[in-house]
Amino acid sequence: MSTQNAVLQGVGVGRGAVWGPVATVRPAPVVPADEPVPADPAAAKEKVLAAFSDVAAGLRAQAEGASATIADVLTATALMADDPALRAQTGQRIDKGEPPLHALVAVIDSFAVMFTAAGGYLAERVTDLNSMRDRVVARYQGLPEPGVPPLDRPAIIVAPDLSPADTAALDLEKVLGIVIEQGGPTGHTAIIAGQLGLPCVVRATGASSLVDGDIIAVDAANGTVTLDPDDATKAAVETRRAGLATLAEATEATEDGATADGHRVALLANIGTAEDAERLTDAAVEGVGLFRTEVLFLGAATAPTEDDQARVYARAFSALGGRKVVLRTLDAGADKPLAFVTQAGEENPALGVRGFRLVRHAEELLRTQLEAVARAAKETGGTPWVMAPMIATVEEARQFAAMAREAGIQTVGVMVEVPAAALRARDILAEVDFVSLGTNDLAQYTMATDRLLGSLVDLLDAWQPAVLDLVAATAAAGVETGKPVGVCGESAADPIMALLLTGLSITSLSMSPSAVPAVRFALSKHSLETCRAIGEAARQAPTAAEARAAALALVDPQVREVLALG
């Protein structure tokens, strides 16, 4: 344990704070390439089979304390570890003199090939199969099982990084917060953490020195992780939590986002799953401004069918009642690889076949998704807005609009997250009914900075003047054409930026649901005129830091204090 109150500096996601014990995530074990042939194959076989049994028993025990969805996954994985055919084949290979871990990996790989070929439900289980393999290998080697450990008490997850699938599968009842040493603030792990309302700090240099049971305090507003916090630090965390809870309650009654003088700005939520939509049932948000549908299929080995998709979209639409939903078609590739469609071997995946560009080799996938959305809309009586990601040209916008309308979608839009689209937003808006600015990718592509590379976080900043110019150009095209221009990147969750965006005539702000109360509060305390002044002041600044400072200088002092804006 390090010195009391030592601080690790990282980059915060959201405004939450929490303190509690650390639970570290273990890396996947490595099977040595030169694993020796065992001197006693019978004993090695017994040890491997015992590892299978231990893993199955451990998973079952873990399932007992877990929420229903996670318990299902754990139980299904335990069944695989018990599978007689899998165990028998592994045993036979060891009997024949193969090194035990190589035998085990070879058998599980052959099952994975069979599962993938079978498609559907079985293909979906390949991730679980691989996770079971890693657990058995670790047990055999006498190492702790990899991945997020079973939590017997609420804890803060600490890891070098988490895969989006790991983050999505976290047991929300037990996870207090997330600290990762790598990743970036607009990477998918951070986004999902924000969506789940978990205080999160990424790029926390030194987090790998933390061990299970260490007590830490996580402050997402300031991006800090305090080791062994003293009573005063813990009390400050509690005060912040209470303040945020009060803020949430105080603003919960306000149905719609609006400035102090009544200028409406829709406050919407970003979601990735039907469960996220269900969690919004009682939330004071006006709807969903970004449904990241690829999150549903991050672990899938084969393309989801129209039926599978229609079912899950219908579930989300029903949960949202008549509220607005903006659904984004699959944004696969780069930071969101989908096994069934992402092309391997691209040298620069962020500049490759991703987002809408998938239509070039997988048009059917998009058509199936649009059909599924239209069907779910019909079944639930909803009228979702549907948009395509990563549009760069007018032709792409036109092609997408034609496909979506053909499928029966009434309100069609595209995301503006590539500078080319922002610069020509007027022409793009001529093809579609609305656009939504994805400031995460817009910052990435404007600043030539990988959004996953947190070490360049200063460049990857939506306050960068060039990014603000592109946002302003897009907003101006919206005013000119009379069409809605929303923002659904992480920048919408920053209360000061939200004021600026409102001043630029952005019509909706979509963010992690947990960020909505602070933004609603900030908006309600400023007039449209002040928001416009904030926009003008920020846009005149030559640097990101000066732009933020110029905006902050015009923010109401009470809002600065309540939201700890600095």
Residues in contact with ligand PEP by the rule CB under 6 A: 191, 290, 292, 331, 417, 438-441, 488-489
User: For residues 466 and 520, is the Cβ–Cβ distance under 8 A?
Assistant: no
Min. distance of Cβ 162 from Mg ion in angstroms?
19
361 is catalytic: no
The residues near 131 (Cβ < 8 Å, ≥ 6 apart) are: 77, 146, 147
- Could you tell me which stretch among 69-77, 240-248, 285-293, 434-442 binds Mg ion (CB under 5 A)? 434-442
**C-alpha–C-alpha distance, residues 28 and 443, integer Å:** 33
Q: Which does 510 bind (CB under 5 to 8 A by kind): ligand PEP, Mg ion, none?
A: none
**C-alpha–C-alpha distance, residues 513 and 511, integer Å:** 6
Q: How far out from the chain centre does Cα 192 lie?
A: 3
Q: Which does 292 bind (CB under 5 to 8 A by kind): ligand PEP, Mg ion, none?
A: ligand PEP
Pick from 16, 164, 183, 438 the residue near Mg ion by CB under 5 A. 438
- State in Å, rounded, how far the first CA of the chain is from the last one: 30
- Could you tell me which stretch among 40-48, 58-66, 230-238, 438-446 binds Mg ion (CB under 5 A)? 438-446
Q: Is 294 in the site for Mg ion (CB under 5 A)?
A: no
Q: How far out from the chain centre does Cα 313 lie?
A: 18
User: What proportions of the chain, in percent to the nearest 5, are helix, strand and coil?
Assistant: 50, 15, 35
Min. distance of Cβ 416 from Mg ion in angstroms?
10
Q: How far out from the chain centre does Cα 92 lie?
A: 43
Identify the bridge partners of residue 415 per DSSP, sorted by sequence position. Answer: 436
Pick from 145, 308, 417, 431 the residue near Mg ion by CB under 5 A. 417
Residue (438 or 454) nearer to Mg ion, CB: 438
User: For residues 416 and 437, is the Cβ–Cβ distance under 8 A?
Assistant: yes
Min. distance of Cβ 287 from ligand PEP in angstroms?
16
User: For residues 400 and 375, is the Cβ–Cβ distance under 8 A?
Assistant: no
188 is catalytic: yes
Min. distance of Cβ 528 from ligand PEP in angstroms?
25
Q: Is 289 in the site for Mg ion (CB under 5 A)?
A: no
Choosing from 188, 200, 526, 531, which is the catalytic residue? 188
The residues near 300 (Cβ < 8 Å, ≥ 6 apart) are: 123, 124, 338, 339, 340
User: For residues 458 and 451, is the Cβ–Cβ distance under 8 A?
Assistant: no
Q: Is 396 in the site for Mg ion (CB under 5 A)?
A: no
Choosing from 200, 263, 488, 531, which is the catalytic residue? 488
Min. distance of Cβ 192 from ligand PEP in angstroms?
10
**C-alpha–C-alpha distance, residues 296 and 343, integer Å:** 19
Residue (98 or 417) nearer to ligand PEP, CB: 417
Query: Nearest residue by C-beta to Mg ion?
Result: 441
Q: Is 177 in the site for Mg ion (CB under 5 A)?
A: no
What are the residues binding Mg ion (CB under 5 A)? 417, 438, 441
Which residues are tagged catalytic? 188, 488
